Amino acid sequence: KKTTTAKKAAPAPAAEGFALDVSVEQFKESIVRNLNTTLGTDAEKASDKAWWGATAAAVNELVFSRLSQTQKTHLNKDTRAVHYLSLEFLMGRLMGNNLQSLGLFENAAQALKELGHEITDLAEEEPDMALGNGGLGRLAACFIDSLASLNYPAIGYGIHYEHGLFRQTIQQGRQIERPDSWREYGNPWEICRPESTQEVPLFGYVETVFENDGSLRKVWHPGSVIKGVPWDIPIVGYKGTTVNILRLWESRASEFFDWDAFNAGAYKDAQGEQNLAETVSKVLYPNDETEAGKQLRLVQQYFFCACSLKDIMRRYKRAHGDDFSKYAEQIVIQLNDTHPTVAIPELMRVFMDEEGLNWEDAWAICQQSFAYTNHTLLPEALEKWPVYLFERVLPRHLEIIYEINRRFLDEVEAQWPGDDAKKIKLSLIEEGAQRMIRMGNLCVVGSYKVNGVAAVHSELVKADLFPEFYEMWPEKFVNVTNGVTPRRWLKACNPRLSSLISDTIGSDWPGQLDKLVALKPYADKAAFQKKYMQAKRENKLELVNTIRELTGVEVSPDAIFDVLIKRLHEYKRQHLNLLHILALYRRLLENPNMDFHPMVFLFGAKAAPGYKLAKEIIFAINKVADRINNDPRIKDKLKVVFLPNYRVSLAEKLIPAADLSEQISTAGYEASGTGNMKMALNGALTMGTMDGANIEIAEEAGEENMFIFGLSVDEVKETKAKGYNPWDYYYGNPEIKAVLDWLDTDYFTPGEPGALSAIKRSLLDGGDPYLVLADFESYSEAHKRANEMYKDQKAWAKSAILNTAQMGKFTSDRSIEDYVDRIWSLKKCDVK
């Protein structure tokens, strides 16, 4: 039973040195007061949700004053700021992070304890803010954390989706999608700002007006106008006093516009408009790395770009009036992938049609204000929009894009006179039966910098994706390797390891991650190894409970925890892992006394709802798991667990408990990866290909502290060039043949032979586009090395510690400093 009367205060753990001066007693007072005044309940009858809400309100009391102080300071100093435009911000939960940043986590936990509650239990009341699909959206969340922590003036702009990424349940092994309602019962972290509402025009036609002086003027008569209402989420910098905002736009019907149709008796049209307006921010598109190509998605993109640019303009004009000569000096707009590209023609439109600038001046400002980050080379992710869609939705922007293209193709002609093939390739318009606008090309032309997200990826952007652009403007192309915030991804999610680190080397590391290297000398000290492995074991024990609660499967903490968590995609090769599990299963059945340390294979993955093969892979994992987990002959040497509804808060439980981190993409396909960094930081050893940031992780941690396998980027290219034939591997390796054939039987789906054959078909008839079979043997060998090494707990501990110690590079603080040096040129702005 929960006690609500305060027990005699236990001595509070020391709050952090930088903490706000809020004692446990004060925190208690604030929580109880907010229970009354904000939640309208009291300590006697409050639910857990209410206690959580009151704690959030207590945190906000501390955050809001810093927020206004930050805004005042930025306004007075008129600082240059970065505006991070992203269709996704995968924030997760905010309570723990906000408390950590204020240095008040311990005091808050103690206050709640004395009020009869465990902070970790209440934390479960907070729904994840899942406004993103995967790595790209989570990166944006880490970046705004780092920007605030480093005291840079910055604002994140995105969409206030009513429904974030779908909630996944598993029924009979299959993924079922359910709507996510993260703010069904309100959300304490967001503040509505109706005074900053914007109007966004759409559809309609463009009129050319001939002025008396002979000049032309373009007038866009929109067919519809919708309203954008901003919601601000305060982003609390670590230790700092800076509280920036994430501003998310919600679409609403605009009052005045519907009246025309309504008065004319077209009730249905008016209703349709209302529907459209409210649909725009209704739901996040659940596709990761594939473009949607739907009108609504284009409207979403335009909607949030138009609102954000108006917001930026309003702030700029407050300081500079109509003098735009300082615009590019004050403002940098970072395009997170091609999703916000339409901001480029929109800013041109605003400058020319609304502010009266000529083309040359407007274009000069645009080209100095935008920068673009490329996050993937996958062709299916490169956005192309049918010209007819643009014509219908954004007719004025289409004209502007044509003019950008006309002038750009003149530059191409100057560089490569008479070379029409170059023009066809580089044009912003792809000709064909269906004419398309190439958003990637528009980004490169309209931005002053283009960056990839890991060293190898940035090289491939130059060499394979945009080689001609690179030839035209070599200085435009730079690399910024991704990073993750160590506040969330070590300090908050792994308190055991965090305390051990702080006790050993001091507590500066969350703000200066390279300080972790001071752990290196401890890597072969037996006493430290013991404590380090003890922390891992306790994290594993906690996960054992979570696994039982979520799936009913019982696993042993003595087994190796092998973790593969990320979106489901063929190039990420969850099916390579699955085939290897089948091989192990088979080996254990044939040779029960095989020398093998027990393993638990953990999966977490959502598949895009329309991605059939990805969903078949989830089904296969679940069916194989059922069979293996219930096979008494295996004697618990092998367990396979698919954890449903993988999301940020689940990652926070899995990562601290991982022994092996599976990063097994086909080389050249994973732009960077960021889960790889999180797991290595928490002491998991990487089982990985030389792809994306794995390469840089190997440089830092040392290949001897990882299990590297598979074809390299160049070897993948060569293999494909030579004409890869997966059948060679099928007939050449009896184990591969056996496990693939096994999937065709009804062994895993009794009475339903062939229910799992989609994987085999894609690998053989489908040509195995991601070289799963080519890498199988090398993967299997790497696993043998890992299994062998785990038996030597000292050797394993040493490698794990060396991983943690050498991940300093992968803090998102370093990424942000690289952006500042190479792209943004911002100055820090201290807030008092």
Contact between 150 and ligand GLS per CB under 6 A:
no
Piece in contact with ligand GLS (CB under 6 A), picked from 130-138, 291-299, 636-644, 768-776: 130-138
CB nearer to ligand GLS: pick between 162 and 288: 288
Indicate which single residue of 289, 383, 616, 813 sits in contact with ligand GLS (rule: CB under 6 A): 289
714's tokens: 């160049």
Indicate which single residue of 90, 306, 394, 453 sits in contact with ligand GLS (rule: CB under 6 A): 453
> Least CB distance from residue 286 to ligand GLS, whole Å?
13
Piece in contact with ligand GLS (CB under 6 A), picked from 18-26, 157-165, 386-394, 669-677: 669-677
SS (H, E, C) 720-750: HHHCCCHHHHHHHCHHHHHHHHHHHCCCCCC
Indicate which single residue of 34, 86, 175, 674 sits in contact with ligand GLS (rule: CB under 6 A): 674
CB nearer to ligand GLS: pick between 456 and 774: 456
Contact between 381 and ligand GLS per CB under 6 A:
yes
Indicate which single residue of 82, 85, 136, 246 sits in contact with ligand GLS (rule: CB under 6 A): 136
Contact between 584 and ligand GLS per CB under 6 A:
no
Contact between 726 and ligand GLS per CB under 6 A:
no
Contact between 695 and ligand GLS per CB under 6 A:
no
> Least CB distance from residue 33 to ligand GLS, whole Å?
42
Quickly list DSSP for 268-300.
HHHHHHHHHHHHTTTB----SSS----HHHHHH
351's tokens: 């400058």
CB nearer to ligand GLS: pick between 290 and 369: 290
Q: Treating both helix axes as pointing N-terminal to C-terminal, what angle do 574-590 and 734-744 enclose, rounded to 10 degrees? A: 100
> Least CB distance from residue 150 to ligand GLS, whole Å?
19
User: Is residue 342 within 8 Å of 299, Cβ to Cβ?
Assistant: no
Contact between 334 and ligand GLS per CB under 6 A:
no
> Least CB distance from residue 697 to ligand GLS, whole Å?
12
Judged on CB neighbours under 10 Å (0-12, 13-18, 19+), 193 is: middle
State how far the Cα of 534 lies from the Cα of 32, in Å rounded to an integer: 37
Contact between 132 and ligand GLS per CB under 6 A:
no
**202 to 221: interface string for ligand GLS, x by CB under 6 A:** --------------------
Residue from 104, 10, 59, 761 nearest 492 by CA: 104
Piece in contact with ligand GLS (CB under 6 A), picked from 42-50, 401-409, 583-591, 667-675: 667-675
User: Is residue 235 within 8 Å of 156, Cβ to Cβ?
Assistant: yes
Contact between 673 and ligand GLS per CB under 6 A:
yes
Quickly list DSSP for 483-509.
-B-HIIIIIIT-HHHHHHHHHHH-S-T
Piece in contact with ligand GLS (CB under 6 A), picked from 133-141, 502-510, 761-769, 817-825: 133-141
> Least CB distance from residue 564 to ligand GLS, whole Å?
15
SS (H, E, C) 352-382: HHHCCCCHHHHHHHHHHHEEEECCCCCHHHC
Indicate which single residue of 145, 232, 670, 817 sits in contact with ligand GLS (rule: CB under 6 A): 670
Indicate which single residue of 446, 511, 692, 710 sits in contact with ligand GLS (rule: CB under 6 A): 692
Contact between 672 and ligand GLS per CB under 6 A:
yes
Contact between 671 and ligand GLS per CB under 6 A:
yes
CB nearer to ligand GLS: pick between 190 and 383: 383
Considering only residues 748 to 807 of the shown chain, the ones binding ligand GLS according to CB under 6 A are none
Buried/exposed code over 30-67 (b: 16+ C-beta within 10 A; e: otherwise):
bbbebbeebbeeebeebeeebbbbbbbbbbbebbeebb
> Least CB distance from residue 442 to ligand GLS, whole Å?
18
Indicate which single residue of 376, 485, 663, 806 sits in contact with ligand GLS (rule: CB under 6 A): 376
Piece in contact with ligand GLS (CB under 6 A), picked from 132-140, 416-424, 735-743, 781-789: 132-140
Which residue intervals of 372-473 are DSSP H helices? 387-393, 395-415, 420-426, 439-446, 455-460, 467-472
SS3 221: strand
Enzyme catalytic residues: 375, 566-567, 572, 674, 678
Strand order in the sheet with 685-688: 638-642, 599-604, 560-565, 660-663, 685-688, 707-708
Contact between 135 and ligand GLS per CB under 6 A:
yes
> Least CB distance from residue 531 to ligand GLS, whole Å?
32
CB nearer to ligand GLS: pick between 39 and 607: 607
> Least CB distance from residue 574 to ligand GLS, whole Å?
14
Query: Tokens 């304490």 label which residue?
Result: 188
347's tokens: 């800013």
Count CA within 13 A, CB hemisphere, residue 276. Answer: 25
SS3 261: helix
- The residues that bridge with 177 in the sheet, in sequence order, are 168
Contact between 564 and ligand GLS per CB under 6 A:
no
Contact between 139 and ligand GLS per CB under 6 A:
yes
Element (H, E) at 185: none
Piece in contact with ligand GLS (CB under 6 A), picked from 89-97, 144-152, 237-245, 665-673: 665-673
Residue from 87, 187, 807 nearest 497 by CA: 807
State how far the Cα of 48 lies from the Cα of 35, in Å rounded to an integer: 11
> Least CB distance from residue 90 to ligand GLS, whole Å?
10
User: Is residue 587 within 8 Å of 599, Cβ to Cβ?
Assistant: no
> Least CB distance from residue 811 to ligand GLS, whole Å?
15
> Least CB distance from residue 465 to ligand GLS, whole Å?
13
CB nearer to ligand GLS: pick between 308 and 674: 674
Which residue has the CB atom at the shortest distance from ligand GLS? 135
Residue from 563, 523, 520 nearest 540 by CA: 563
CB nearer to ligand GLS: pick between 497 and 690: 690
CB nearer to ligand GLS: pick between 136 and 450: 136
Piece in contact with ligand GLS (CB under 6 A), picked from 33-41, 77-85, 671-679, 736-744: 671-679
Indicate which single residue of 80, 375, 384, 573 sits in contact with ligand GLS (rule: CB under 6 A): 375
Considering only residues 472 to 491 of the shown chain, the ones binding ligand GLS according to CB under 6 A are 482
Piece in contact with ligand GLS (CB under 6 A), picked from 555-563, 670-678, 705-713, 748-756: 670-678
Indicate which single residue of 53, 96, 132, 134 sits in contact with ligand GLS (rule: CB under 6 A): 134
User: Is residue 452 within 8 Å of 671, Cβ to Cβ?
Assistant: yes
Percent helix, strand, coil in the chain, to 5, is 50, 15, 30
**75 to 114: interface string for ligand GLS, x by CB under 6 A:** ----------------------------------------
State how far the Cα of 790 lies from the Cα of 798, in Å rounded to an integer: 11
Judged on CB neighbours under 10 Å (0-12, 13-18, 19+), 380 is: exposed
State how far the Cα of 522 lies from the Cα of 44, in Å rounded to an integer: 50
Cβ-based neighbour number of residue 17 at 10 Å: 9
Contact between 647 and ligand GLS per CB under 6 A:
no
Piece in contact with ligand GLS (CB under 6 A), picked from 177-185, 374-382, 404-412, 712-720: 374-382
Contact between 451 and ligand GLS per CB under 6 A:
no
SS3 754: coil
388's tokens: 């007819």
Residues in the chain: 832
Cα 275 from chain centre: 29
Q: Which residues bind ligand GLS (CB under 6 A)?
A: 134-136, 139, 288-289, 375-376, 381, 453, 482, 670-674, 692
